[in-house]
Structure 1
Amino acid sequence: MTVQVTENAAKQIRKQLEKRGSGLGLRLGVKASGCSGYAYVLDYADQAEADELVFDQFGVKLLVKRIDLDKLDGIVLDYVREGFNETFKFLNPNVKATCGCGESFAV
């Protein structure tokens, strides 16, 4: 099971944690949502929970609940600039379909 963070995403995570003033890392998960089934959830993590795996790359930690790993295994979290917008981008090999608005996905 792997979850990866690009160097650009790691820089942004560090920046956000420094701005916040505390935190162990970011928690990546999924929730039931939208017309395709699931949506990604990113939140600050102050500590690891017993049911989470911690992935450490480029000096940042990404925490993922074991129950979400089947939907997130192999994902790469990137941070990109698209025009005037900057955003986290989820490169997930498990996605079979996405909705037209781009807010949800199916595995």
Structure 2
Amino acid sequence: MKSQDTPFEGGPLDGRVLPVLLGPTGHPPKTYRIPVPDAAGGPPTVLVYRRVPRGHSRRLGVPTGWKYLFDPEGKRGGGLRWPWSRPERAGGTGAVAAPDGSPDGTQG
């Protein structure tokens, strides 16, 4: 498999350049998760980095490379977003309850 040296910005890996495996399209993954073991033996802490363009070409505006920025919240993001999907709400999954309070409008 091919790998590419990719810079990391922010967080504990700030300033480091690590080799990242490329996917079938030739790009590194959109999110990069790094589990860090706990010194006390507890569950590991997961550092999350998000892929952003390093720069853009002058003529076509195509990304010239990639870098990773630290995401301190580390929310599960990504996935496919279909145009017909409902927008995600702050408190839940985006599903809308019926006026009577039932999730699908049926009572009983």
TM over 0.5: no
The structure carrying a bigger strand percent of its residues is: 1
**Greater RCO (CA < 8 Å, at least 6 residues apart):** 1
- Structure number with larger C-alpha Rg: 2
